[in-house]
A and B are shown apart, each in its own frame.
Chain A
Amino acid sequence: MKSGGEFLADHVKGIPRSGIRDFFEIVQKRGDVISLGIGEPDVSAPWAVREAAIYSLEHGRTGYTSNSGSLKLRNEVATYVENIFGERYNPENEILVTVGVSEAIDLALRAVLNPGETVLYHEPCYVSYAPSITLAHAKGRAIRTRAEDGFRLDPKAVAEAAKGAKVLLLNFPTNPTGAVLSGRELNALAKVCVENNLLVISDEIYAELTYETKHESIVTRPGMRERTILLHGLSKAFAMTGFRIGYACAPAPLIEAMMKIHQYAILCAPTLSQEAAAEALRGAEVTTREARESYQMRRDFLRRKLEEAGLKPTNPAGAFYLFVDIRSTGLTSREFALQLLDEEKVAVVPGEAFGPGGEGFVRCSYATALDRIEVAAERIGRFVKKLGERRLVAAR
């Protein structure tokens, strides 16, 4: 007779728990911690957005919407995507509203992959990519990006890894590294995708949080629209993580396939959240500009403070993370994070949580109030100094 865990599917058993979840539980047990480990904005959603949600409840809009999402929201998405990404999608059949980008990634992978097919992804990367590929019964092939290249993806490395692969999963700007691809790199990458007949699933959730340059999407490159599923959502730039609204834009047959899975698994994204999202997109220009300016100031501040502390943070062009090189301390990323938490009560996320390529780094989120960032940076500086002194003593 089987019981409990013996009923589990093999491929699910094989998936490790998220390293972030693991570390979260350690941090939760300590009080009085300053956290640079948070992957969400430190402000609530704009008031107009919250007010739209209240209004929709007051007016009793508590039923289902169309499986694809309300047409009102899809129309707003179409306009917004055209403005930000420079590509027009038909709200009738080329846009699907999902429960965050996370659901959209799952739908996209399940819609296009047969068991055993291969997905390329760059790594270090967001924690859900490799497990989502496994859950779709496919195989992941990681392409390592490196600090020396600013964690940008080399199109040549993609070409070399492309043999037998069906899908390329992209995330620029990248969580956890903040890397962004230049227009020229996108051109070269698009060419590789077309030549190797790859489908691209492009998670561009941090698009608005691109600092020195304007965000560009691979979907605008020649030959890419028909082979790209563009994913975006409102969590980051609109501070709406808890609303759980994302969307996918792609040619109709791909959206139709994703919609079928969504229809049977989820039915529709929460109506209340869809109402709020439509309002957010209407007021997008001010919200996203303010968010960008505020994060950019904090990024520059944290980077300076960490450099003063003798660390080497990357110079991220997007998202709200600094991926900090801690190899000079001689500690693993997990040791560094645990000791920092113990000795200085500052939480950062060990880079190993983002794949083997993240080892030697820790992720510091600057989506936190400036005064907290300042104290955290001072404590990190003190900690690094102490480590240096200890190494000197040990060497004698």
Chain B
Amino acid sequence: MDPLLQILKERGRLPTAELAKLTGKSESEVEKAVRRFESDRVILGYQAILDSDKTGHGGVRAVIEVKITPERDGGFDRIAARVARYPEVVSCQLMSGGYDLLIVVEGSDLKRVAGFVAEKLSTIQGVISTATHFQLKTYKEAGVLFLQDDKAERLSISP
């Protein structure tokens, strides 16, 4: 992978000067490359990974297995896009196996998520069934561990 993309993927949108230092490119080259990645939609967005237990705005999160009927024109895509457009839906993926879509829904409380499933999701034409699993605890998210490893001490000088 492009070293610049690798850094952006791992560390987010660092200041351009920092990216320039890390990649050995000039700031204007970096700026241009990042803009290009963004306009080509190689980079779709930048987000912080939060521990919601500590933000005070925890809310609830549900993983929902959705079975849908594929359509003659477009297969699963049209219904999947309809589901994905709801702001409550954090992620939406087409899966192989026992169901079709795996979606993650966030809401301020259980009632809201349940309401979304009953009133919005289940009533979309083509949705056959849903199975909702509420998340209890997060151990790792987007490659980041929530539990902290002990800091391993190294000798300050070694051969």
Which of chain B's residues has its CB closest to A176's CB? B159
Residues in A with CB closer than 8 Å to B152 are 44
Whether A40 lies near B154 (C-beta < 8 A) is yes
Q: Which residues of B contact A33 (CB under 8 A)?
A: 156
User: Smallest distance from the beta carbon of A45 to chain B beta carbons, Å?
Assistant: 10
- Distance in angstroms from A165 CB to nearest chain B CB is 25
Provide the bound-state CA to CA distance between A249 and B154, in Å: 30
Report the Cα distance A300→B155, complex, angstroms.
Answer: 24
Q: In this assembly, does A297 line the interface, its C-beta being within 8 Å of a C-beta of chain B?
A: yes
The reply to whether A24 and B156 contact each other, CB–CB distance below 8 Å, is yes
CB-CB under 8 A from A370, the residues of chain B are 22
Interchain CB contact under 8 A, A297 and B22: yes
Q: Is chain A's binding surface mostly helix, strand, loop or mixed?
A: mixed
Given B24, B156, B158, which contacts A300 in the complex, CB threshold below 8 Å? B24
User: Which residues 104-144 in B have Cβ within 8 Å of A in the complex?
Assistant: none
- B158 near A37 with CB under 8 A, answer yes
Given contacts A44-B152, A293-B6, contact A349 B157 (CB under 8 A): yes
| Residue B149 lies at the interface, judged by CB distance under 8 Å to chain A | yes
Q: A35-77: which residues lie under 8 A (CB-CB) from chain B?
A: 35, 37-40, 42, 44
Q: How far is the CA of A24 from the CA of B157 in the complex (A)?
A: 5
Question: B15 contacts the other chain (Cβ, under 8 Å)?
Answer: no
A-B CB pair tally, cutoff 8 Å: 49
From B24, B157, B159, A27 is in contact (CB under 8 Å) with B157
Picked from B3, B24, B157, the residue with its CB within 8 Å of the CB of A35 is B157
- Which one, B21, B22, B24, B156, contacts A38 given CB within 8 A? B156
The number of residues on chain A lying at the interface, defined by a beta carbon within 8 Å of a beta carbon of chain B, is 27
Majority SS of interface residues in chain B? loop
A12 to B94, CA, bound (A): 69
> How far is the CB of A286 from the nearest CB of chain B, in Å?
14
B24 touches A304 (CB 8 A): yes
Contact yes or no, B158 A40, CB < 8 A: yes
B interface residues, how many (CB within 8 angstroms)? 13
- Specify which of B21, B22, B158 lies most central, judged by the most chain A CB atoms within 10 Å of its CB: B158
Tell whether, in the assembled complex, residue A39 and residue B158 are in contact, meaning their CB atoms are under 8 Å apart: yes
| Cα-based distance from A35 to B155 in the complex (angstroms) | 9
Q: Is the beta-carbon distance between A127 and B22 smaller than 8 angstroms?
A: no
Q: Which residues of B contact A127 (CB under 8 A)?
A: 159
**Complex Cα distance A175/B3, Å?**
26
Query: Contact: B6 with A38, CB < 8 Å?
Result: no
In the assembled complex, which residues on chain B have CB atoms less than 8 Å from the CB atom of A126?
159
- CB <8 Å contact, B156 and A20: no
What are 16 A-B pairs with beta-carbon distances under 8 A?
A20-B157, A20-B159, A27-B157, A33-B156, A35-B156, A38-B155, A39-B158, A39-B159, A40-B158, A126-B159, A128-B159, A293-B3, A297-B3, A300-B24, A301-B21, A301-B22
10 cross-chain pairs, A with B, having the tightest CB-CB distances, nearest first: A24-B157, A37-B157, A35-B156, A39-B158, A27-B156, A20-B159, A127-B159, A39-B159, A27-B157, A38-B158
Q: A39-B159, A126-B159 are in contact. List 11 more A-B contacts (CB 8 A).
A: A20-B158, A24-B155, A27-B156, A33-B156, A35-B157, A38-B157, A44-B152, A293-B6, A304-B24, A347-B156, A374-B21
